[in-house]
Amino acid sequence: MVISMWKNLLQTTKERILQQRRMSVYNQAHGYEEELVKKQLQQFAGGSINLTKEDSGIGILTLNNPKIMNAFTGTMMLELQERVTELENWKDGKGLIIYGAGNTFCSGSDLKVVKAISNSQDGMNMCMFMQNTLTRLMRLPLITVALVQGKAIGGGAELTTACDFRLMTPGSEIRFVHKLMGLVPGWGGGARLVRIVGSRAALKLLSGATRVDPERALHLGLSEETLSSSDEAGALEEARAWLSQYTEGPASVIQATKEMVAAGRELLLEAALRTEKDIFGTLWGGPANLQALATRPKHK
Ligand SMILES: CCC(=O)SCCNC(=O)CCNC(=O)[C@H](O)C(C)(C)COP(=O)(O)OP(=O)(O)OC[C@H]1O[C@@H](n2cnc3c(N)ncnc32)[C@H](O)[C@@H]1OP(=O)(O)O
């Protein structure tokens, strides 16, 4: 009886955590009609977003539209949402690397799409769609890395900020060019950049449309490390090795760790503490915890 009540409570807690993770920033109450937005984005086809899930628990997400520097068409935006849904449901997942095909990261929105939807309502719809998707990406229970080769420009720079970490290859750059387009970031990259580098550095990068090379990115805390390889296979291998330092161990523990940090990053202290308690409750006395106790570990 007590055990079954405990199991029910645990299940309810897990469902609440899952629900929080999938919560969208925008819904109908904000005048956002997702099905209409999807129909419109469907008209702008090209490129793809591919996902490979490796046995190690690391997923590789490829932005694949190299003819236009992996710029996002409408169908790529839709596919990104689908892949994020798939990753939210990946029970054995622990980490994710996002990179661009053809040795370059992403040059933002496809300018053809930008021109075609240059009225205010359509622009706002695309902005809400991408904010919803990138917020869910940021909240994935996986440790995420943007592997920046070549250029991460405009929306591409914004996408890097939805990842937990950025790794850059020699000669690469991250650049928020929005000002030069008469814009500000709209995919959530402005708000996230402030949280990563602080408001003063963010203001400089955005108002100067500054080219951020690997050295400067390291100095600002925008990048974790400059990799030594510039070629795709070598850089991916280095990124995998870097990420593996943090994904060793059971998926349940890695996922809980990421969710706890995401709560600490996003919520006010009391709400973050309650979430930490809920997440702790999903692990305490669980298989990984019992197995660790059985080995009577010493952490010398
Ligand atoms: C969310 C808000 C946004 O993202 S607004 C969009 C912001 N992005 C931009 O404005 C990027 C514009 N493109 C550029 O500045 C340059 O193409 C960059 C990315 C610096 C690359 O320069 P470079 O290495 O010399 O290559 P390139 O110019 O020859 O480009 C190769 C082909 O790709 C194309 N391309 C590039 N970016 C886009 C894009 N965002 N949308 C559509 N097409 C793009 C170029 O036009 C070029 O094509 P083509 O060879 O001229 O047919």
Burial call 24-50: b when 16+ CB within 10 Å, e when fewer: eebeeeeebebeebeebbeebebbebe
Domain match, 184 and 263 both: no
Task: With CA atoms as reference, report the closest residue to 175 among 194, 191, 189, 195.
Answer: 189
Domain of residue 262 covers 251-293
Domain match, 179 and 260 both: no
The ipTM value here is: 0.98
Domain match, 176 and 33 both: yes
Per the domain annotation, does 4 fall within a domain?
no
Per the domain annotation, does 3 fall within a domain?
no
Per the domain annotation, does 1 fall within a domain?
no
Per the domain annotation, does 71 fall within a domain?
yes
Domain match, 228 and 274 both: no
Contact status, residue 260 vs residue 248, Cβ threshold 8 Å? no
Question: In this structure, which residue's CA is closest to atom 34 in ligand 1?
Answer: 68
Question: In this structure, which residue's CA is closest to atom 13 in ligand 1?
Answer: 107
Per the domain annotation, does 299 fall within a domain?
no
Query: For the chain, what is the domain count?
Result: 2
Per-10-residue mean pLDDT for the chain, 300 residues long? 65 68 83 92 97 98 98 98 98 98 98 92 94 97 98 98 98 98 97 98 98 98 97 97 97 97 96 96 94 87
Greatest C-alpha distance within the chain: 65
Task: With CA atoms as reference, report the closest residue to 128 among 6, 261, 36.
Answer: 36
* Burial class of residue 290 (count of CB atoms within 10 Å of its CB; 0-12, 13-18, 19+): exposed
Tell me which residues have their CB closer than 6 angstroms to ligand 1: 68-69, 71, 107-111, 114, 151, 153-155, 177, 181, 186-187
Domain match, 46 and 84 both: yes
Task: With CA atoms as reference, report the closest residue to 154 among 169, 175, 168.
Answer: 175
Domain match, 169 and 279 both: no
Q: What is the reported pLDDT for 8? A: 72
Q: What is the reported pLDDT for 24? A: 84
> What would the pLDDT profile of 257-279 be if each residue is shown by its tens digit?
999 999 999 999 999 999 999 99
Domain match, 142 and 94 both: yes
Cα of 68 vs centre of ligand 1, distance in Å, is 6
